[in-house]
Amino acid sequence: MMNFMPGCILCGSGAEFDVDRFLVSSPWSGTAEIFRRGPTGAAYRPIRKYSSLQIEVSPIDEDLLEPQVNATLAFLRSYEAEVRRLVTFPGVEAVEFRIGLFWLPDTAIYPISLTSSFLKAVGDVGASVDIYVYASDGIKTV
């Protein structure tokens, strides 16, 4: 199970997204983490409003921006057609590359700069970039 930790994941989601039908002919079949809309059995989120899939793009222990950007570009070179298929698949409402970073307590500022070529590559396939900055006590636990 993927954690909400640093590293980059690709997430595709939608209320009417038939994730199983998408994965039938996908190279991500067997590697994607799948979440289906409906009852979850979990007290903290009893009903999931969207079906989604997640693909690891860079390792979840990678907490630097540049390696995650490079991994995302390499992923796009390898899977551009499949990302485009996901973006246009019926029921898909959002396709996001989620980049995770740690915010360390002794850090006064954390500049995040994404190059225009990176943003263009992601935008050209119709996806977006979300950056998650996690509070940290300076000790990485993955």
Task: Tell me the two tokens of residue 3.
Answer: 């954690």
Query: Of the candidates 120, 125, 123, 87, which has an alpha carbon nearest to the alpha carbon of residue 11?
Result: 87
Say what the pLDDT of residue 140 is.
Answer: 52
Q: How confident is the model at residue 126 (pLDDT cuts 50, 70, 90)?
A: very high
CB-based contact 55:28 (threshold 8 Å): yes
Q: How confident is the model at residue 134 (pLDDT cuts 50, 70, 90)?
A: confident
Query: Of the candidates 85, 92, 90, 81, which has an alpha carbon nearest to the alpha carbon of residue 53?
Result: 92
Backbone angle region of 91, left / alpha / beta, with phi > 0 → left and psi within -120 to 50 → alpha: left
Q: State pLDDT tens for residues 23-55.
A: 999 999 999 999 999 888 888 888 889 999 999
pTM above 0.85, yes or no: no
DSSP letter for 58, please.
S
What are the sequence ranges of the domains in the chain? 7-135
Say what the pLDDT of residue 138 is.
Answer: 56
CATH 3.30.70 fits 7-135, yes or no: yes
